[in-house]
Amino acid sequence: MVKQIVTGAHYGLKDWLAQRITALVMAVYVIAFAGMLMVCPVQGHEQWRALFSNQFMRVATLIFFLSVFWHAWVGMRDILMDYVKHTGVRLGLEVVVVLILVAYALWAVEILWSL
Partner 1 sequence: MITADQRPKYLNLFRIRLPLPGWVSILHRISGFALFIFGGALLYLLQEVLRSPEGYMHVRAITGNWLVKLFLVGLLWSFLHHFFAGVRFLLLDVHVAGDLRATRITSAAVLIVSLVLTAIVGVWLW
HSE-CB at 42 with a 13 A cutoff on CA atoms is 13
| Closer residue to partner 1, CB minimum distance, 6 or 30 | 30
| CA 97-98-100 angle, 5° bins | 65
Check binding of 35 to partner 1 (CB under 8 A).
no
Q: Which residues contact 8 (CB under 8 A, 6 or more apart)?
A: 77, 80, 81, 90, 91, 94
Check binding of 36 to partner 1 (CB under 8 A).
no
Check binding of 88 to partner 1 (CB under 8 A).
no
Q: Which of 63, 84, 104, 109 binds partner 1 (CB under 8 A)?
A: 104
Binding mask 45-74 for partner 1 (x = CB under 8 A): xx-xx--x---------------x---x--
Residues that bind partner 1 (CB under 8 A): 20, 23-24, 27, 30, 44-46, 48-49, 52, 68, 72, 75-76, 79, 97, 100, 104, 107-108, 111, 115
